[in-house]
């Protein structure tokens, strides 16, 4: 079962920062998950619509210029990172789940994604694109069918399984509060990978592993590494 660090190792380091992502890899996470917003000139890595909770800034994120956002302290003197910086930090054999919180247009977002790939990297084989905005994923699927897509759902697993299949998604991402064995079995029998968020206790990790879940998103990858049976190497995407 994959261990994906939710916004990096965010229990121990400021979420969605290069420090949190590097710590996740130091703690032997199989990959990272992070949130993105598309600005006019770039894609930045951030979760909230507003700045106050995780930075020393105030106001709406999308009301600020990129240059201003880059001056803010996102915790421990970390900058709000660019997508390119996170991808450059990510080992080539690690999984990278990019969640889309906001985009201007699927075409421009895909162009910026391609520009953010490390120099010489043409493949996106270790990248998984996810969102709660399923219409964006469907448009991306039509434009770039080779990309792996993950359908996020918080409350309607059965409907989301149907949507995932309709768009040819790679995976479905259930909330811990809504997942059960029936939904996991239904999704896996349909050919979908099943990932669950956010899983921070050993008991829940072991329960999901027993259920056959393919991966978890956790704020504590070090806890997951010690809790889970990792005799077998987790598969690549």
Q: Report the distance separating Cα 225 and Cα 32, nearest Å.
A: 14
Known catalytic residue at 111: no
Which residue among the candidates 47, 68, 135, 173 is catalytic per the annotation?
A: 47
Which of 140, 42, 145 shows the shortest CA–CA distance to 86?
Answer: 42
Query: For residues 55 and 73, is the Cβ–Cβ distance under 8 A?
Result: yes
Q: Which of 6, 68, 134, 135 is catalytic?
A: 6
Token representation of residue 117: 């790939």
Q: Let me know if 65 is exposed, middle or buried by CB neighbors in 10 A (0-12, 13-18, 19+).
A: exposed
Judge whether 47 counts as a catalytic residue: yes
208 token code pair: 């999901």
Distance between CA atoms of residues 120 and 54, nearest Å: 33
- Cα separation, 199 vs 43, in Å, equals 27
C-alpha–C-alpha distance, residues 235 and 43, integer Å:
28
Q: Which of 208, 198, 195 is nearest to 169 (CA)?
A: 195
Place of tokens 């106001």: 59
Catalytic residues: 6, 47
């Amino acid at each position: 079962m994959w261990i994906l660090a939710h916004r990096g190792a965010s229990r121990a380091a400021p979420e969605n920062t290069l420090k949190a992502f590097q710590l996740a890899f130091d703690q032997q996470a199989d990959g990272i998950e992070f949130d993105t917003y598309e600005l006019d000139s770039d894609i930045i890595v951030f979760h909230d619509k507003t700045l106050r909770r995780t930075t020393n800034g105030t106001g709406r994120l999308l009301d600020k210029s990129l240059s201003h956002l880059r001056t803010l302290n996102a915790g421990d003197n970390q900058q709000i990172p660019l997508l390119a910086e996170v991808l450059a930090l990510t080992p080539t054999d690690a999984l990278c789940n990019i969640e889309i919180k906001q985009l201007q247009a699927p075409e421009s977002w895909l162009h910026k994604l391609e520009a953010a790939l490390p120099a010489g990297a043409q493949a996106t084989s270790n990248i998984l694109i996810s969102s709660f905005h399923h219409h964006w994923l469907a448009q991306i699927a039509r434009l770039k069918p080779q990309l792996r897509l993950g359908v996020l759902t918080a409350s309607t697993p059965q409907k989301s399984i149907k949507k995932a299949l309709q768009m040819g998604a790679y995976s479905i991402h259930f909330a811990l509060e809504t997942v059960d064995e029936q939904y996991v079995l239904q999704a896996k029998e349909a050919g979908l990978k099943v990932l669950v968020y956010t899983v921070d206790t050993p008991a829940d990790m072991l329960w999901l592993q027993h259920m056959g879940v393919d991966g978890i998103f956790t704020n504590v990858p070090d806890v997951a590494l010690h809790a889970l049976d990792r005799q077998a190497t987790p598969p690549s995407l």
